[in-house]
Structures are given as structure tokens and as C-alpha cells.
Amino acid sequence: MQIKILRPGLHTSIQDLGRNNFLSQAVPVSGAMDSLSARIANLAIGNGENDALLEFTYGNAAFKCETDILMAYAGGGSNLVALGELLPSRRAIFVPAGTVVDLVNNEHGVRTYLSVAGGWDVEEVLGSRSTYLPAGFGGYQGRLLKKGDLLRSCSSLGPSTTSLLGKLRGESVKQASWAIPYNFLRSENANTVRIFAGREITWFEGRSVIDLLAEPFTIDLKSNRMGISLKGPQMERAITKELLSTGVCPGTIQVTGNGDMILLMADCQTTGGYPRIAQVASVDIPLCAQLKPSEEIYFSLIDHNEAELLLFQQQAEMKKLSQAIHNKL
Amino acid sequence: MIDQETKIYALSESSVTVVLGDEISSQMAEKVSALNSAIHNSPFEGLITTIPAYATLTLYYDPEKVIHSRLAGESAYQKVSGYLSALSVSRISKENSTRLITVPVCYGGTYGPDLELVARHSKLTTDEVITLHASATYTVYMIGFIPGFAYMGGMDTRLSTPRKQQPRTQVNAGSVGIAANQTGIYPLDIPGGWQIIGQTPIQLFNASRPEPSYLKAGDTVRFKPLTINEFKSLTS
């Protein structure tokens, strides 16, 4: 299967679930910002969870199916439209060769993940197909997609994907009769982000910690795949000593010298020297990946143990879902 | 391994950090290295990787594998903490555990645009700066900031120079810099604020190598001065 990029959109790259094995050499995790949507887009067509997808940022993008395509998409950044019809998200869709698919802005989020049967075929670099732009490796030639780029899928398909393709293949656009349910997998309130205390939380004034848990914060325009800048009350220091650079990871909220908070995301550095006031629960990081500039969020405090339990619950739900799909196909 | 000063905390649901102290020193780097070796010599089920830093070691793990492992504890975090508490760390002898790596450097000129600034700041001649920089033995404290960037200690304190007030918009890959008491090498072309005194023809980071970073935490490093012609013949 092959597509040609007609309009690449704002920031489009190939991602999978990231690379973990070279963190000690300061190679960031990278991978899909909203890993939950990425996994759902893969699951919907029977792919492996870690197969490579396209991560689009907002809409205003388009591609042409050069061959018949079996695909799915998930994430709130755009809606896919073909031949004037809205294509549903989180659902397997067959699109015949020659069809142009447009990505149209969707106000619900930022990023959209497009999976293809078998996953997009790019070389694995350091154990992952994710693009890491600052060092120019991984994904599609280590760069963002451009107009005219041709993307091919891997030719080997799993049994579920093959069966799905057999059922949907035809002369016209056709969708599976079922979609992946979504809401139970994520937090009920998309504007509340659950956090647990960061190692240096006691370095901050009590008043600032209260602000952190009571006041709204807005997403700054400067946000990108490395981090999300948060605007709101300044976090004031009670203890002003310097932190020796130490390990940080996606989800870490660090406070810069002027009291602003930065939520580290997929492409973040592996070490950092800013004090860490909080850590976002893993299950809520995907939600953060969909926050738009000027959007307001609140933080709510849980403890680390609860965050771990939430993660296990979500994993169990995903496993059940995956099993159900494979049984169905 | 756990002595009075050692502390363990959860960084995320899939990582914990062990705090060994609160200083930048080669003794501390050795402690971090010893712990790192002990972990890799008897890893627990689900361990993914470790990140050594100045005085901490962060362990990444797969929480699902850990929770189903036979380690004692109610949560993945407890299980990993328990593993760490029970781990015995032998004092490593430096000789057989560290690599000695010689990094050739062409000092000054277009390769080291801040050499004269460092000399003025240190009240030394540029030749003296080169001699001092190339005669010390360095320890890689950690790889951080960007892929393959090595923070090294062991520099002669006379060369200590603060970072630039305004970072350069572009520092060439291979540039050798000074920031306070540390020296480091830029692995990629990026903006940066270290005082650049020279450049190495060695590729510090290359994603197509099986081990992409040329240097690792714990390595011992020496610099060897190169002439411009030697530099050019090595890069051509």
C-alpha cells in the first residue's frame, strides 16, 4: 500500500511508541505524543501496538492513495474527509486507489494518528521508527514529511488485518461496522490533569503549591514535542539551591528560573537541572498532547501508587480490547 | 548498598531515581558507576535501561513486567525499591572498569573561537590553555542535554570560565567547550553557550552505529592536540 503526500500540514512525522534503549546516551524517548490514540489507530486495523504511524499536527493536510489502502485514524487534531464524506475515527476504513483524503481541522485537539495495514515502512533506527527531529534521525529520512513524499506500508500483515482487508476490499470507500470505544480508556475530564508530587515540590512556597492545585493554567504557544509551556501563577521558590542535573522524563513538570512551568513531552531531554514540582500520571500524558494553545487546564493531586494503578487498569483494558478484536476477526 | 545518605524516589510510573549524594566529583561519578555496574550485572526482570547523572542513577523499567515478577512488594515501585535495597555494590577498581579514550582536538582559530577569551579570563597564554587542557585526565560524569553530549570533570581549575551570556546560534559538531569547571564536546550542530576552544574530527554521535554515543558515563578521556593539517587529513 502506498500514499503520496499532497499537503504535509504543519508538522507531520512518523512515530511509533518510542525508543527506550538509548536513554543513557541522551537519546530521547520520542514516539507518539498521544500514545493512546496511536495505539487505538493501530488496534482498529489489527496492527501491532508499536507499528509506525503518521502523526499529523492539526489539519490542512492531504494525501492521495496510490494503491488500495486499509487504514484507521485516531486523535482529536483533525477529521479525515474523502470524496466529500467524513471518515469516522477509531475504525478500519478501506479506501480504493486514486482517492484523495483531506485532513480538516477538528477543534477537539492537536494531533491525529494515521495507521496503515502493516504499519508504515521506514527503517528502524536504534530500535524504533520514531522521528527525532533535532538530531535528524528515525522516521522518514529523519525529517518531517514534505509534499510529494511517498510512503509505503510494510507488506507482511497479521491474520486480523488480512481478514479485515478481505471483508472491506472493494470499489469504494468502506468502513468496518465497529469502532474502538474510547472514553472509558481516558480521564473523564479532559481539562483536569492528574499529577503526583515531584521530588523538589518542597522547594516551593506553600502558596505556590496551592496555586498549582487550585488555579487554571493555560497552554503557551511555545509548546512543541519537547515540552508544553504552561502560563499561570508563578511558582515561587522557598529553597533556592541549585539542582544537579538528573534524570527527567516525559510527564515531568519542571520550573524554570522565572517560575514558569514546563511539562516535558516525548522529545524531552533525558536529564535536566530545573527543580521538578510534579509528575503527570502516565495515563494523562496523552490528554496533554491534545491541549491547544490558550486552552485551560487544572491539576489534581493523586499519589504515585494511584498513578501506577491507573496505568495498570488502562493496560488491562487495552489488552481486553485487543483480545476482543482479534477474536472478532 | 543502601547507606544512610542513599535515597530512592519514583520519577514516574516506569522509573525510579537513586540519589547517592549532592556534589559533582570524580568520587561521586565512581559511586554512580559502581551502582550502575552492579545493576547491569544482576538486573531485575523488566529493567529497560539506566541513566547515570552527576550524583544520581535513574532506572527505567517496564512496570507490567515488574509487577508480575517475583520481587517482593505490592507495587512495581516497591518491588524495584526492594531490589535496590538488597543489591550489593562492590567497590569497583577503576583499572578494569573504565575505558581510556583519547580525543584528538584542533585548538584555536576557527575551530576554537573562544580560545583567546578563555586565555584572557584565565590570565594565561593560549598555548598554556592548550597545554593545561590537553594534559589533564577527565572523567565523563554523564551524557545528557542532547544525544551523545558528554559532561566531563577533571579540568584544571585555572581554565574555569563561565558560559557565554548569549549562546551562539550555531556550534559545530565536534566543538570542545568549557563551562565553569567542566569541559564537554558538542555532538551535533546546535545552538550552545559553552566557550569553544577547539574541535575534534571524531563523530561523537552517529545514530547508525550500534552504540551511537562515542563516550559513555564513567569513561576516562584525554585530549591530544592536532595541527590544522592533521585535522583536515582526518576529516577529508
Q: And the C-alpha cell for A262?
A: 514546563
At residue B195, the 3 state secondary structure works out as strand
Whether A126 sits inside 8 A of B51 (CB atoms) is no
Whether B51 sits inside 8 A of A137 (CB atoms) is no
Q: Would you call B33 an interface residue with chain A, using a CB distance cutoff of 8 Å?
A: no
Residues 126-155 of A with CB under 8 A from B: 126, 132, 134-135, 137-138, 142
A314 pLDDT band (50/70/90 cuts)? very high
- Report the run of H or E that residue B15 belongs to, with start and end: strand B15-19
Assess whether pLDDT exceeds 50 at residue B95: no
Whether B190 sits inside 8 A of A134 (CB atoms) is yes
Whether A20 sits inside 8 A of B75 (CB atoms) is no
Whether A282 sits inside 8 A of B146 (CB atoms) is no
Sign of the C-alpha dihedral computed for residues A175, A177, A182 and A183 taken in this order:
positive
The average pLDDT across A132-160 equals 96
Chain B residue closest in CA terms to A278: B11
Nearest-CA neighbor of B52 among B95, B85, B93, B98? B98
Whether A271 sits inside 8 A of B145 (CB atoms) is yes
CB A299 within 8 A of CB A284: no
- One DSSP character per residue, B37-104 reads HHHHHSPPTTEEEEEE-SSEEEEEE-HHHHHTSSSSSSSHHHHHHHHHHH---PPPPHHHH--EEEEE
The pLDDT score that the predictor gives to residue B16 is 98
Q: Would you call B71 an interface residue with chain A, using a CB distance cutoff of 8 Å?
A: no
Chain A: nearest CA to B150, how far in angstroms? 9
Nearest-CA neighbor of A256 among A294, A295, A230? A230
Residue B212 is classified by DSSP as -
- CA A277/CA A204 separation, integer angstroms: 8
Partners of B180 in beta bridges: B161
Distances (CA, A) of B38 to A33, B41, B85, B92: 34, 5, 12, 9
- Report the run of H or E that residue B233 belongs to, with start and end: helix B228-235
What are A258-279's pLDDT values in tens digits? Answer: 999 999 999 999 999 999 999 9
State in words which class domain B7-95 has: alpha beta
Q: And the C-alpha cell for A310?
A: 491507573
Residues 166-205 of B with CB under 8 A from A: 188, 190, 205
The pLDDT score that the predictor gives to residue A326 is 84
Whether A246 sits inside 8 A of B205 (CB atoms) is no
Residue with cell 517496564: B62
Domain spans, chain B: 7-95, 98-235
What are B116-160's pLDDT values in tens digits? Answer: 999 999 999 999 999 999 999 999 999 998 999 999 999 999 999
Assess whether pLDDT exceeds 90 at residue A96: yes
The pLDDT score that the predictor gives to residue B90 is 72
The average pLDDT across A121-129 equals 97
The average pLDDT across A223-248 equals 94
B10 vs A contacts (CB less than 8 Å): 196, 279, 304
According to DSSP, the β-strands at B168-171 and B175-179 are unpaired
Residues 138-157 of B with CB under 8 A from A: 142-149, 151
What are A49-59's pLDDT values in tens digits? Answer: 999 999 999 99
Q: What is the 3-state secondary structure (H, E, C) of chain A?
A: CEEEEEECCCCCEEECCCCCCCHHHCCCCCCCCCHHHHHHHHHCCCCCCCCCEEEEECCCEEEEECCCEEEEEECCCEEEEECCEEECCCCCEEECCCCEEEEEECCCCCEEEEEECCCECCCCECCECCCEHHHCECCCCCCCCCCCCEEEECCCCCHHHHHHHHHHCCCCCEECCCCCCCHHHCCCCCCEEEEEECCCHHHECHHHHHHHHHCCEEECCCCCCCEEEEECCCCCECCCCCCCCEECCCCEEEECCCCCEEEECCCCCCEECCCEEEEECHHHHHHHHCCCCCCEEEEEECCHHHHHHHHHHHHHHHHHHHHHHHHHC
The pLDDT score that the predictor gives to residue B97 is 64
B13 vs A contacts (CB less than 8 Å): 281-282, 304, 307-308, 311
| Phi and psi torsions of B18, nearest 5° | -105, 125
Domains of chain A (ranges, CATH numbers): 2-180 (no CATH), 192-312 (2.40.100.10)
Partners of A63 in beta bridges: A5, A101
Nearest-CA neighbor of A276 among A249, A312, A298, A316? A249
Q: And the C-alpha cell for A55?
A: 502523526
CB contacts < 8 Å between A and B, how many?
A: 132
Q: Is A276 exposed, middle or buried (0-12, 13-18, 19+ CB in 10 A)?
A: buried
Chain B residue closest in CA terms to A310: B13
Among the partner residues B49, B53, B60, nearest to A271 by beta-carbon distance: B53
Whether B15 sits inside 8 A of A247 (CB atoms) is yes
Q: Would you call B58 an interface residue with chain A, using a CB distance cutoff of 8 Å?
A: yes
A24 vs B contacts (CB less than 8 Å): 49-52, 143, 216-217
Among the partner residues B15, B51, B188, nearest to A135 by beta-carbon distance: B188
Whether B149 sits inside 8 A of A24 (CB atoms) is no
State in words which class domain B98-235 has: mainly beta
Whether B147 sits inside 8 A of A135 (CB atoms) is yes
Nearest-CA neighbor of B7 among B51, B58, B62, B43? B58
B80 pLDDT band (50/70/90 cuts)? very high
Q: And the C-alpha cell for A263?
A: 511539562
- CA B75/CA B61 separation, integer angstroms: 13
Assess whether pLDDT exceeds 60 at residue B72: yes
A196 vs B contacts (CB less than 8 Å): 10
Q: Which amino acid type is present at position B73?
A: G
Q: Which amino acid type is present at position A183?
A: N
Assess whether pLDDT exceeds 50 at residue B102: yes
A304 vs B contacts (CB less than 8 Å): 10, 13, 77
Q: And the C-alpha cell for A46?
A: 489489527
Chain B residue closest in CA terms to A28: B147
The pLDDT score that the predictor gives to residue A182 is 80
What are A153-181's pLDDT values in tens digits? Answer: 999 999 999 999 999 999 999 999 999 98
Q: And the C-alpha cell for A272?
A: 535536566
The pLDDT score that the predictor gives to residue B3 is 62
Whether A135 sits inside 8 A of B54 (CB atoms) is no
Phi-psi region of A126 (alpha: psi -120 to 50; beta: other; left: phi over 0): left
Assess whether pLDDT exceeds 70 at residue A282: yes
Chain A: nearest CA to B124, how far in angstroms? 30
B230 pLDDT band (50/70/90 cuts)? very high
The pLDDT score that the predictor gives to residue B167 is 87
In sequence order, the 6+-apart residues with CB closer than 8 A to the CB of B160 are: B122, B178, B180, B181
Whether B17 sits inside 8 A of A247 (CB atoms) is yes
CB B199 within 8 A of CB B175: yes
Whether A246 sits inside 8 A of B53 (CB atoms) is yes
The pLDDT score that the predictor gives to residue B92 is 57
Sign of the C-alpha dihedral computed for residues A293, A208, A251 and A185 taken in this order:
negative
Q: Which amino acid type is present at position B134?
A: A
Q: Would you call B49 an interface residue with chain A, using a CB distance cutoff of 8 Å?
A: yes
Helix count and strand count (H, E) for chain B: 7, 13
